[in-house]
Copies of this chain bind each other. A is one copy, B any other.
Amino acid sequence: MSQPVQPVQLLVLITTLPGRGAEQVAAYERLAPVVRAEEGCLRYDLHGVSGDPDRFVLIERWASQAALAAHDAAPHMVESDAACAAFRAGPAEVLRLDADPLA
């Protein structure tokens, strides 16, 4: 019997160069509708970090690893990742969370 497909939950910690948070928001506003229309996309929400206009957390939830892999390889993501490098302070940190809480 095959294992049930587990959803994938990611927290992507993003820091932009000082004063360039608005470019991150604009890029996300363009990208979010496209990503949310992708197969298996359950959540794609960018939140600001209170008190810091240059820090963000992108909360992603995917129905499966395959859906996430297709997302990562999608032309609009390859293009977006390249463009975002211009205003980010460094690579985003991606935390993949275990599906279920520990208690």
The answer to whether B49 and A102 touch across the interface, beta carbons within 8 angstroms, is: no
A103→B101 CA distance, assembly (Å): 27
Q: What number of copies of this chain does the assembly contain? A: 2
The one of B32, B51, B95, B100 in contact with A49, judged by C-beta atoms closer than 8 angstroms, is B95
Main secondary structure of the interface of A (DSSP, over half): strand
Residue tally, chain A, CB below 8 Å to B: 26
Name the B residues within 8 Å of A98 (CB-CB).
47-50
A41 at the interface (CB under 8 A from B): no
Known contacts A57-B11, A95-B57; A47 and B101 CB within 8 A of each other: yes
The answer to whether A96 and B46 touch across the interface, beta carbons within 8 angstroms, is: no
The answer to whether B11 and A103 touch across the interface, beta carbons within 8 angstroms, is: no
A87 at the interface (CB under 8 A from B): no
